[in-house]
Chain A
Amino acid sequence: MIFKVGDNFLHEFILSKDIYNGFLDTFKDKNPMHVNYNFALDHGYSDIVMHGNILNGFISYFIGELLPAKNVVILSQEIKFNNPVYLNDTLSFYGTIFEIYESVGVINFNYKFINQKNNTVAKGRIQIKKIK
């Protein structure tokens, strides 16, 4: 198998205005926490908070575009949000393979996103399957 336990992957994402607007336009989640600066400030944040599920889009990009094999599909993924993400944050994605089940082509990753202040903003697991 092209993958092995312990393989590490790193990629840097910038949560740009285009990505934010694209998510907002596509999914219409205009909760004031995501669009109203004063509302976000009143609730203890320093700016409008980016939609957590934008990070799932980054995970999709990682699986679909950055792995050394294209014949893969996501079987499951989980994400825990540890800290808010703000517009123009730079997020370093670290993914590590911790399990492989060759009989069924299943590969399990741990991952985390770390922002430019070195805070973990999200982490979780992804399970993919390599299609024959």
Chain B
Amino acid sequence: MTTEEIIKDLNNIFIDVMEDENIVISGATTSDDVDDWDSLNHIHLVVSIEKHFKIRFTSEEIESWKNVDEMIINMQEKGI
């Protein structure tokens, strides 16, 4: 998948988890930029992303992400 395709899928996951149709994410998006991106929703996001893309992260990988770009790089390293 291209980075743009991944962001499009991720955006839909964010909308679904946060229940907010207005969310638009980019590579630079951080949890500070999305109102409902709290620790609990972060868990739901990771579960949804792992399920959707059929991948598994480690807790170390998740804790290393500083923005969506780093999440995507991590996903691409897993063959997405």
Q: What is A's interface to B at a CB cutoff of 8 Å?
A: 75, 101-106, 129
Contact = CB atoms under 8 A, between A and B. Distances in A.
Give the dominant DSSP class at B's interface.
Answer: helix
B43 interface: yes
A101 B44 CA distance: 10
B43 A104 contact: yes
Contacts of B57: 103
Nearest to B55: A103
Interface residues of B, number: 13
B4 interface: no
- 4 closest Cβ pairs, A-B complex: A103-B57, A104-B43, A104-B46, A101-B47
A103 B40 contact: no
A104 B46 CA distance: 7
A102 B43 CA distance: 11
Contacts of B56: 101-103
A106 B47 contact: yes
B66 to A, nearest CB: 17
Nearest to B62: A103
